[in-house]
Structure 1
Amino acid sequence: MSHTPSEPNRREVLRRIGLAALAAGPGAGLLSACATGGSATPTASGAASAVPTSAANPLGVDSAKQLEVVIFSGGNGDGYATKLHEVLYSKAHPKAKINHVATQKVGTQLRPRFISGDTPDVVNNSGPEALDLQTLVAEGHVADLTPLFEVPSLADPAKTVRETLVGGVYENSLIDGVPRVLQYTVAHRALWYNAKLFAKRGWQAPKTWQEFTALGEEAKKDGVALFAYPGQVGPFYQLWNLVYSAAKIGGNKVIVDIDNLADGAWQADAVLKAVTAWADVQRDFGDKAYLGLDHTQTQIKHLQDKVLFYPCGSWLENEMAKDKPAGFDYALAPVPSVTGADAMPYEAIMVGVSEAFFVGAKGKNPQGGMEYLRQMLSREGARGYTEMTKNLTVVNGVVEGLELTSAVRSAARAQEAAGQHIITDARFETWYKELFDHGQTQTNAVMSGRVTPEQFCAEMQKKADELKADSAIVKQTRSV
């Protein structure tokens, strides 16, 4: 089935989440369907809710049923669930007991449960051990979220849930043409640096690769690494960085071809140039010691100004809030232009949606699971999440008046500067988890110098070709 995302235009995402005025310049202030009834709500497994739907209960939730919620307790912790979203659900359904499970090992903890049939109702499928959604869908474990997207929104009852969300959210939910996953946050993936350090040293974020490496030479004199990523827990940070840098060189078609398992996609000239450029930076300005560290250890080094640039997503500031010193202000920079003929300008950054949630189709309370997501997408649920985690959600126009951090402001301004030059999100992480996991291993191999960039590309292409030839694997396609 075709999977066609909707890329945001110059002001679309900022406008829809209430940040259009923010990017206008320093000092700018923040900008400010009908209910169904009478019928039962079908679930993905074909069963129907025993509770009739109504304006007050459009998903037909049995308020007496227990709800189990599994949250990945990573950079955002799990307090937003226990202190906000679960509280909202309890207010709406006070008789329901909520079983809260927090874990940093989603796959290890949940895979045996799905095999045994002990399925949770809501899963925050994030982190290095995220479950393979394609496999779960094939086994009938992931609910069809069509009812959720079509019911009235709590953020704006005059609109459906789908109508209140940032463009691209619904498109990103589709697996085999059916909405299966809710991506809850707006994510910016680029390079993060200390704005206070750069101001103190009189440095500007480099726009060209020559400026980037020149800064690396200067930093090297002080024993500072130009760049680092965590090789133990978080090699996917750099895998993303390689793929999005390749898109900058060759355009978004590079990512579309990778996602579509197109012949030779991983051996395209743009991919080879991106991998070569980053491998050279690691060799000349990096420190192999970081390959043995996890993400928290590496991020501490970054906060200590022992690393200038760190590739990560918008959750970084909140993840390190307790450790961030007064002399550090997170700021986002696009990847410098790698060649003089890049298809996309320097300002281009990756803006997408992330933080995946799904409902267990074979759980004891799938209607309650969808209602939980609906509460998350309410004005109170979305606004509160941003206040607690410093991350923007996909709900339109709910952050008016919030005091935002330097990282969020920087990301919003970078997005505005990018305009229509948005690097599309890669989908193979969700579509073909085996390929993504293989990519992490190969990323560490090429960045440590154990294989050449050419070998990296060949190994990735070999794995992609294997998956393409495997008739047991359902294939996904996208056009843009």
Structure 2
Amino acid sequence: MGSTSAENDGTGSTENSTAGVGRRALIKRSAALGLVSVPAMSFLSACASGGGDDNSGDNEGKTSESNPFGVKKGSKLDVVIFKGGYGDDYAKAWEAAFKKQWDVTSVHTGTQEITGKLQPRFNAGNPPDIVDDSGAQQIPIDVLHKNGQLLDLAEVLDAPSVDDPDTKVRDTLIPGTLDAGMQEGKVVALNYIYTVWGLWYSGKLFEEKGWEAPKTWDDFLAICKDAKSEGIGGLAHQGKYPYYINVAIMDLIAKKGGLDAMKAIDNLDPKAFVGSDAAQEAIEAVYEVVEKGYLMPGTNGLTHTESQTRWNQYKAAFITSGSWLENEQLKTTPEDFDMKFLPMPLLPDSALPFEAIRAGSGEPFIIPSKAKNLPAAKEFMRRMLSKEWSTLFAKEANSLTILKDGVDPNVQLRPGTQSTVEASKAAGDNTFRFLYTEWYSEMGTAIENASNELMAKRIQPKEWLKRAQAAVDKQAKDPASKQNHRD
């Protein structure tokens, strides 16, 4: 999405800043990852005209083996990029390469105001050609899809790979990474960034304090207690954007109860939360941090970047986030901070091992169905999934993409990013990923709101479970929900 934010992903700063918002959508959103409620009904009614027409018109060139979509040289491409945790320099590098290849001039917009800038354009039938739809103001993918505003990306995914014309684009991607962009069986969003979610800490601080990275929740709490005794917060969380604390809550549920507990939530089970031992133990574990005063003082009232910056100043031992964190905090992280990723520590008798991590694709890129230059938009996305452009992204944004072996091995990664690579290798097949955030944005927001109340001590774990289950039950009544199911 990465999620991840100004808040995602999803990630926060001013529009012209290179600091960012996370995924949060999604973090959510994306990422990736819908971190903040969007007035979905007004958008639904405004967009009810839908779409699906090919408006390319004069932008159609001749197709060939090297030009499968018929990019017309000299045409223009309207690109909108969420300027959050990953910035937008990577997209400018892509656009320069695209212009060199096709003589296509890009109209580039880097912004965090995705809904504010794009909703009027979608409503008017004049959307951009390609969009990184992420951050706090992400237009929910499910809303766009329901109104016919998104192109089915099958044509791009079934096209020949730039690197190997004998291989389809979809066969060059990390398995499972397309799932987050599916709506009713169609891939309508390309979640481009391979994101891992979990806890983060400073290697320098831990070495100075003699702390070992915890593998169990009891060991995690012990470090939080020790930190508090030394005037340091145990856990910082991005209080104004409860998407982030849900990283801990949902990871604990999945690791305690296994994939069945995760799928119960995505599949809108009537006992997804109320009646789930895994959900009860997870929410009680997180609430223990609140009850014992282990939160970093003031964290409930801070934005993601404010909390993360204080964490960079060694005011907390841990913080929850996705792997966009390092790039988002480049300007505030001390050179010797030694940022490290940590899988969520285990509750007793957990079904999944410590090494298991929430991992998958975030930061959804979409092609509007009414884009004016569909040939160039499709080719642009195809080239995003080439080794050249994947490496450009890694160099500019300090993160990995969904392309298998998509980064030149000679590229040196920063400590935090390198630690996510090592964690991914250690996890192997023990990865999991919730999809309800992409499928059901309203439900996701309701659960986040309950988490916000919990962390502020305005409700207890039992009430959180009731509110989360109510959000599931409400979503289950929507007939469209039957189109989404995990086996």
Question: Which residue identity lines up with residue 257 of structure 1 in the other structure?
Answer: A
- List 4+ stretches of structure 1 deviating above 6 A: 46-49
Match of 2:291 among 270, 277, 283: 283
CA contact (8 A) 1:332 1:410 kept: yes
> Secondary structure of the residue that 1:186 maps to in structure 2?
strand
Structure 1 CA distance, aligned partners of 2:332 and 2:483?
41
> What is the match of residue 310 of structure 2?
301
Structure 2 CA distance, aligned partners of 1:414 and 1:225?
25
CA deviation string 1:157-202 (max 9, x = no partner): 3322112111112333321111211111111101000011112222
CA contact (8 A) 1:186 1:353 kept: yes
Shift of 1:478: 3.1
Structure 1 CA distance, aligned partners of 2:224 and 2:180?
37
Structure 1 CA distance, aligned partners of 2:169 and 2:264?
31
Shift of 1:475: 3.7
Question: Which residue identity lines up with residue 85 of structure 2 in the other structure?
Answer: G
Structure 1 CA distance, aligned partners of 2:388 and 2:259?
35
> What is the match of residue 319 of structure 1?
328
Structure 2 CA distance, aligned partners of 1:220 and 1:266?
31
> What is the match of residue 257 of structure 1?
264
> What is the match of residue 177 of structure 2?
169
> Secondary structure of the residue that 2:84 maps to in structure 1?
coil
CA deviation string 1:395-425 (max 9, x = no partner): 1223222111111221122222223322x11
> What is the match of residue 225 of structure 1?
233
Alpha carbons of 1:430 and 1:171: their partners in 2 closer, same or farther (altered >3 Å)?
closer
Of residues 63-72 and 246-255 in structure 1, the stretch that sits farther from structure 2 once superposed is 63-72
Structure 2 CA distance, aligned partners of 1:150 and 1:466?
37
Question: Which residue identity lines up with residue 205 of structure 1 in the other structure?
Answer: A
Question: Which residue identity lines up with residue 163 of structure 1 in the other structure?
Answer: D
Match of 1:155 among 159, 163, 167: 163
Q: Does 1:378 align with 2:376?
A: no
Alpha carbons of 1:155 and 1:237: their partners in 2 closer, same or farther (altered >3 Å)?
farther
CA deviation string 1:408-450 (max 9, x = no partner): 221122222223322x111111111111111221111011111
CA deviation string 1:35-79 (max 9, x = no partner): xxxxxxxx9546787434211210122334321111000011111
Structure 2 CA distance, aligned partners of 1:366 and 1:288?
50
Where do 1:366-405 residues align within 5 Å? 366-399=374-407, 400-405=409-414
Alpha carbons of 1:438 and 1:109: their partners in 2 closer, same or farther (altered >3 Å)?
farther
CA contact (8 A) 1:156 1:164 kept: no
Question: Which residue identity lines up with residue 331 of structure 2 in the other structure?
Answer: K
> What is the match of residue 38 of structure 1?
none
Shift of 1:303: 0.6
> Secondary structure of the residue that 1:266 maps to in structure 2?
coil
> What is the match of residue 32 of structure 2?
none
What TM-score do you get using the length of structure 1 for normalisation?
0.86
Shift of 1:108: 2.4
Where do 1:19-418 residues align within 5 Å? 45=53, 50-82=60-92, 84-94=93-103, 96-232=104-240, 234-267=241-274, 268-284=276-292, 285-287=294-296, 289-338=298-347, 340-399=348-407, 400-418=409-427
CA contact (8 A) 2:54 2:370 kept: no
CA contact (8 A) 1:302 1:310 kept: yes
Of residues 309-318 and 394-403 in structure 1, the stretch that sits farther from structure 2 once superposed is 394-403
CA contact (8 A) 2:56 2:371 kept: no
CA contact (8 A) 1:260 1:476 kept: no
Of residues 140-149 and 169-178 in structure 1, the stretch that sits farther from structure 2 once superposed is 169-178
> Secondary structure of the residue that 2:199 maps to in structure 1?
strand
Structure 2 CA distance, aligned partners of 1:58 and 1:235?
43
Question: Greater RCO between the two (CA within 8 Å, min separation 6)?
Answer: 1
> What is the match of residue 462 of structure 1?
470
How many residues were matched structurally? Answer: 432
Alpha carbons of 1:475 and 1:64: their partners in 2 closer, same or farther (altered >3 Å)?
farther
Structure 2 CA distance, aligned partners of 1:140 and 1:168?
24
Identity score, percent: 33
Match of 1:478 among 466, 481, 485: 485
CA contact (8 A) 1:59 1:147 kept: no
CA contact (8 A) 2:189 2:366 kept: yes
CA deviation string 1:259-281 (max 9, x = no partner): 11111212222112111111111
CA deviation string 1:321-346 (max 9, x = no partner): 121112301111111112x2111122
Alignment RMSD (CA, Å): 1.8
CA contact (8 A) 2:82 2:114 kept: yes
Question: Which residue identity lines up with residue 418 of structure 1 in the other structure?
Answer: A
CA contact (8 A) 2:56 2:375 kept: no
CA deviation string 1:89-108 (max 9, x = no partner): 212221x3311111112122
CA contact (8 A) 1:45 1:140 kept: no
> Secondary structure of the residue that 2:287 maps to in structure 1?
helix
What TM-score do you get using the length of structure 2 for normalisation?
0.85
Runs (5+) with no aligned partner, structure 1? 1-42
Runs (5+) with no aligned partner, structure 2? 1-50
Question: Which residue identity lines up with residue 361 of structure 1 in the other structure?
Answer: S
